[in-house]
Amino acid sequence: MSNSNAEMAPASTENRDLERNQNVAYDPVEMLKLMYLSREGDRREGVLHRQSKGWFQVAGMGHETLAVVAKAMKEGDYLFPYYRDRAMVLARGITNAQLATAYFAKAGSSSKGRQMPGHYSDRSKNVWSVPTPTGANALPGCGVAWAMQLEGKPNLVVATVGDAASRQGEFYEAVSFAVERNLPIVFIVEDNNYGISTNTEKFNPFKLGIFNDNLVKHVDARHPDHLHEFMVPILEQARSGNGPSVVVCEIDRLCSHTSSDDHRVYRPKDEIEEMFDRDPIDIYSRELIESAKLTQEEWDSIREEINQQVDQEYIAAENEPDPTEAELFDDLFAAEEPQAVVPPLEGNKTWRMVDAINHIFKQRLASNDQTIFFGEDIEAPKGGVFGMTNDLSHDYPTRAFNSPLAEATIAGVGIGMASYGMRPVFEIQFIDFSGPAMNQIGQNLGTLRWRTGGEWKCPMVMYAPYGAYLPGGSLWHSQANESIFAHLPGIRVVVPGTPEDAAGLMWTAMHADDPTMFLVPKHLFRQQMKVEEVVAVPFGSARVRQEGEDVTIVTWGNCIEQAFEAAKRMDEECSCEIIDLRSIQPWDRDTILESVEKTGRLVVIQEDGRSCSVGQMIITDLLADEEGFYHFVSPPQLVSKPDIHIGYNPIYEYAALPDVDDVVAAIDLTLRE
């Protein structure tokens, strides 16, 4: 990598006729008005917060010049802002009145009062919802850029981060993916030299020479005219298919980090004074007056008019309705449950689960041109490490792609594509490797619909081989982890146990408007199984695999085999009813309760760890309910992997995992009334 400390473009010292030879109209006076509107909104929120009207404020004072970037964008372009981009979102058409409503967290705000101020969102303006974890917008931005590129759209994405967030690993992944795919995206790094209280000088990757000079461009962004002149060709480069750019904008943060911070504690007084001498609004207004593009009287009138506007809009916003407690539960998923449709899988035939899934993948690609596959090694000739994507890239070369070995990229790009309107079906090679993707899964995948009041949605399927019972997997090819994903609101989690259920659940997930984590049990998916009838499989519906009268066994995934073998061994002593849960989130409480009402006994089998697990949740839920509690004639039993890792030696693996003897012992305990 070459050193990126290229000479920074100097700030403009005079106004230029920036419309010459440019297609983007630019009005200096209108830009000044917009910058001042942003500043006055920030100032007003600061006053309100000090008056204990509102709970929090994050300001963008000093960052107002970046509005010129948003103004230079075109219809159909997307902005992925961060929380200091008030001026940018105003330039994209979000109104100050909307921001005032968001400040007071009112029911009519873009998040219905669920997001902090500064977390902008507007689907109609293509302003993507700001996630608080800085840098978490970059990979979804790449997803939208890739989707537009695949569709041949003449549009681009602008994604912004602070300089501190440029050290996030996801930022590096996003830039790498953008360069790899030659995406129409421009990353704006707003370099105000601080990450809360930490001076970023020694951490800044652009001052450490991490990035290539050909990719990174530096600019003193304190002057709007110069910044506009600098940015228009960069945006056009991305729009015309000539690749992404990273633009490092030197700028000042003229305020504390948030209302919970006081920058006078860690910033020297002379530094603050020098910074205010560079206030872009003061400098720009003087220049426009000196160049006779604006008179002092006009400027005074503009400020007075904006001050009154802002004052009135915040008074009105304060009096708008608050959300109700009942609305807390709205928008986690689509208002209507996804309709389960019979999957196109032939019945009265023997299938392997892996083949059934591959067949469904092909059927989906044939019937829906918005479906995209992406994952490590999924292209031909490999077709995935387990063959689930065999022939997809051969038959659909523009819709099935290998990914880099970067799970955060897989998740984040998929989230962006789904929010744009694509239907991504993306693979994590093993669920054990989902760790690098957890920021995107936890912060964006399950929150996007809820945090935007249903305005944005994320219809993505993320699937992964899951579980153990294949000797030699060791620590990182044997994990289950379904409880981790079940703890994340807004994500459905399913684990099929048969080829027809795999096909049915996948088909349902592919037609749903919300994200699904689809876990494929490795021990089962190469087994030949007779498929009699193929039916629609809705979320939250368990399947009674064997009827019985004395003991209810609830399990899912790989442990289904242990359940059947244990029931067979206990056949002379008791009759076991076996329920395949299939859907972890949501789960079918009614079917289990109905069975327990009949049998009075319950054994839950899982290969995930015991503590804080799905199995514990099921038992606790049924016991905590008065109706459920009095159905039990004996204490319910959980057969589970202890809270321990799985070792490479099969002795360790079999010692850790539930086996038939464990299940038989648990059944026997329930029979001792």
Q: Which of 195, 190, 193, 201 is nearest to 261 (CA)?
A: 195
Q: What is the C-alpha to C-alpha distance for residues 256 and 280, in angstroms, rounded to an integer?
A: 17
> Which class for 101: exposed (0-12), middle (13-18), buried (19 or more C-beta within 10 A)?
buried
Token representation of residue 207: 């001052």
Q: Which residues contact 256 (CB under 8 A, 6 or more apart)?
A: 262, 263, 264
Q: Give me the residues paired with residue 531 across strands.
A: 349
Contact status, residue 265 vs residue 235, Cβ threshold 8 Å: no
Residue 143 dihedral angles phi and psi, to the nearest 5°: -60, -45
DSSP state of 155: -
Marked catalytic residue, from 477, 511, 523, 645: 477
Q: Are 477 and 647 in contact (CB under 8 A)?
A: no
Which long-range CB contacts under 8 A does 45-48 form with residues at least 24 apart? Answer: 45/103, 45/117, 45/314, 46/255, 46/259, 48/103, 48/314
DSSP string, 205-260: TTTTT-S-TTTEEEEETT-HHHHHHHHHHHHHHHHTTS--EEEEEE----S-SSTT
Q: Rounded distance, CA 204 to CA 292, Å?
A: 40
What is the C-alpha separation between 163 and 205, in angstroms, rounded? 9
CA gap 377, 233 in Å, rounded? 37
The contacts of residue 620 (CB under 8 Å, 6+ apart) are none
477 has catalytic annotation: yes
| Closest to 617 (Cα-Cα) out of 646, 596, 589 | 589
Beta bridge partners of 199: 194
Amino acid letter at 486? A
Structure tokens at 119: 């977390």
List residues with catalytic annotation: 477
